[in-house]
Amino acid sequence: MEQVKKSAAWVAARSTHVTVDSSALEKLVDKLEGSLPQVNWDFEGIHYFDNGPLTVQYLLVLDALNFCFWPDEELDYSHLASGLKSALENDKSAFDADRLQSYTGQELRAILKWPRPLPLEDERVRLLHEVGLELERSFDGKAVNLVERSGKSAVTLVDLIARHFPGFRDHSVYKGHQVFLYKRAQIFVADLWGAFKGEGYGAFGDISSLTIFADYIVPAILRQYGVLNYDLSLAKAIDSNSEISAGSEPEVEIRACSIYAVEKMKDLIKAKLGQRVLSIELDLWLWALGVQRQSLQHHRTLSVYY
């Protein structure tokens, strides 16, 4: 996680398309007025939870597929989470490692009850196969064994996921420098922590090490608050729904500057309000604000990472 924080700060210091407005960040913290954001992890009631290993299996599958909804205007995260939940409620073996290796795009659509091809459907199927194969090969088919191998360390679990599952290796190269973002690897840990309320399979002694999960929504809400400012060409591209290439300088800057800004926000809350808050909590709060605003304009990038 230090790699994530350091590389995000490195990008923010050299960014030419995106800037972080420190005064806007202070105003946002002042708006909290001592009341830190509280958002229930499953605030929409869309996730599967049975307080056991099957929940862990569900969350790994969920976060393997948790990316790129925007090309279908009607599809969103809730369809994925609730669709997978229903599939597991109907068939407890739906996400067994051998089953994951055999799904087709059409079968995945049927699981989600989606009437047409999913965005990046082939990639989603490929990642399902990858997760099933590696679970079977290295963890006796069970995601819970992956979690237990981490020794209750969030950092270790993110590292294990990135080492064993290539589809979670969320890296970019920016001006010749490697940037680490790890959105989906981190959010799997965060989902465990949120679902199990920091206990059992969700107990991590270093949960404060995680950053936010750089996606579409958090940068967009930070932009609305004036924390992120975009240059004219980038703002025009986003506002006109033009696609921004994965790995391009503007795309990396949007994500890295979001991480950097919220890390600074966390420091400001501690300094001004005398309270500690997790990046996870700030991410949940900002994401919840964002999804509730239908007019929110986010950047559009075809990517398997978010």
Residue in the structure block whose two tokens are 């965060």: 190
Identify the sign of the CA torsion 85, 91, 97, 102.
negative
Identify the sign of the CA torsion 56, 281, 255, 257.
negative
Judge whether 215 counts as a catalytic residue: yes
Q: How far is CA 98 from CA 72, 82, 124, 137, 174, in A?
A: 29, 22, 16, 11, 38
Q: Which among 159, 20, 131 has a CA at the least distance from the CA of 65?
A: 131
Question: What DSSP string describes 244-296?
Answer: --TTSHHHHHHHHHHHHHHHHHHHHHHHHH-----HHHHHHHHHHHHHT-TT-
∠ CA(84), CA(87), CA(93), 5° rounding?
Answer: 110
Residue 224, burial from CB neighbour count under 10 angstroms (0-12, 13-18, 19+): middle
Reading the block at residue 28, the tokens are 């946002």
Q: How far apart are CA 86 and CA 113, in angstroms?
A: 10
Q: How far apart are CA 282 and CA 193, in angstroms?
A: 14
∠ CA(103), CA(59), CA(295), 5° rounding?
Answer: 95
Q: How far apart are CA 128 and CA 183, in angstroms?
A: 17
Q: Which of 215, 231, 239, 267 is catalytic?
A: 215
| Residues with a known catalytic role | 215
